[in-house]
Amino acid sequence: MKYYLFFILLGGIFFVSPNQFAFSQSSDEAQVFVMEIRSEIDARTSHYVNLALEEAEDLDADYIVIDMDTYGGALYDADDIRTRMLEYEKPVYVFINKDAASAGALISIACDSIYMAPGASIGAATVVNGGTGEAAPDKYQSYMRGIMRSTAEASGRDPQIAEAMVDESIKIDSISEEGEVITFSTSEAIKYGYCEAQVSSIDELLARAGVENYQLTTFETSTVDQIISFFLNPVISGLLILVIIGGLYFELQTPGVGFPILASFVALTLYLTPYYLSGLAANWEIAALFLGVALIALEVFVIPGFGVAGISGIILVAGSLMLVMLNNNNFDFFFVDFSEITQALATILAGFFGGVLLMFFGGVRLTNTEFFQRVALQGTQSSTEGYTSNFKVGSFVGKEGEAYTILRPSGKIMIDDELLDAYTQGDYINQGERVVVVSDEGSSLRVKLVRDVQPQA
């Protein structure tokens, strides 16, 4: 037993993370954690910030520094990040290098201290339409004015200036004229209390803030997050949709093989998971996708013909796959760039048409490959050669029965009060119609309508 304890303790020593080990060896050093916001603010940025703050908490970082250069982005995601900054217990500094416009300005104001590089700017926080670039309706401007004001108040800055960064109708003597929103340069931001100092690097920022003898840790996304980013690529998403459709088709063509439906399931998982983890896929969008799949399955296996359920299912599947890719807020596409919508639509259409082409031109070639012939049964296992099925005793060929369910093309039939699996050669047989067994190889009976059987001379 003592040897087991020894190895457990030894494993604990060697598997401790490098950051934890370094901290234990240099507990007198301040821990400074740096994250970068250098792209458009969206759900992926919010996810990135959450991951970064979680790691900072694990490291017990003393200071957080945001290295920022952004022209803004989605208001809702910026608001989430702003809230995290205001609620974070340790000091949060932002280094604006070079721009903090719109949503970037909101996040910057939420930080405890703002430092700016030479030639940097902050402001211009008017809410605009993601597709046209035009100013948003007043309800959005009012919301932005409110959170800019409250954020400035919480961080000890002039709330009227924060509002004037949004609303061009607000005039502040000696600062802004009516008809223009405020955008501060570095020197102007220092003059009016929206910047602590001009710095050229994070090291200079920390020196200005009085942080000495520190250990700097820059946040880097994990391998898992890099994989997630890879699968968020629209080209990869289109290929996954192709695999989803192709897998379902080939499974229906060769039921029981298993690997096509497995490939389809894996592709669906790889499609949904990255979008869900990055905050783009909402629960209701995923629920709509599975509802659409259920409606299609209902149409194929239960309801005769192809009507409302099938069409509704296709619309739900295609629509939800597209919505998953877009950063909409419950069908509110105001902040979604039009190029993102067209890109998502093109990805979905490419995946669907690619799947259709795969069905028509790749089906025969796939079934003739050596790999497919290894995993799929190509020959007929006849009962005359000794092959039998466990579900029945004796032959049913020539026996008549009744369709217990609709056969489209598979279903259940009743012969001599025994319920059996059956299928047709693609024909539809309604419930209650008389059928005759024409073949009983395998685990399911092949049947025809009694009226379709030709009399023998």
Is 16 part of any domain?
no
Listed residues 158, 192, 220: the one ending a domain: 220
Is 379 part of any domain?
no
Listed residues 309, 341, 374: the one ending a domain: 374
Listed residues 188, 220, 252: the one ending a domain: 220
Domain identity same for 198 and 237:
no
DSSP character string of 216-272: EEE----HHHHHHHHHTSHHHHHHHHHHHHHHHHHHHHSTT--HHHHHHHHHHHHHH
The boundaries of the domain holding residue 440 are: 392-452
Largest CA distance in the chain: 109
The whole-angstrom separation of Cα 156 and Cα 150 is: 10
**Is the overall model pTM greater than 0.75, yes or no?**
no
Is 386 part of any domain?
no
Domain identity same for 109 and 82:
yes
The domain tally of the chain equals 3
The whole-angstrom separation of Cα 164 and Cα 171 is: 7
CA-wise closest residue to 195 among 69, 125, 93:
93
Cβ atoms of residues 161 and 172 within 8 Å: yes
Residues 6+ apart with CB under 8 A from 407: 413, 422, 423, 424, 427, 428, 429, 435, 447
Going residue by residue through the chain (457 aa), what tens digit of pLDDT does each one get?
433 433 343 344 334 444 443 444 445 789 999 999 998 888 788 888 999 999 999 999 999 999 999 998 888 889 999 999 999 999 999 999 999 999 999 999 999 999 999 999 999 988 876 555 677 777 788 889 999 999 999 999 999 999 999 988 888 888 887 778 999 999 999 999 999 999 999 999 999 999 999 999 999 887 777 787 788 777 788 888 888 877 776 666 555 556 777 888 888 888 888 888 777 788 888 888 889 888 877 776 676 555 777 788 878 888 888 888 887 767 766 656 666 678 778 887 887 777 667 656 555 455 555 555 554 444 544 445 444 444 455 678 888 999 888 887 778 889 888 888 888 876 778 888 899 988 877 667 888 888 755 544 4
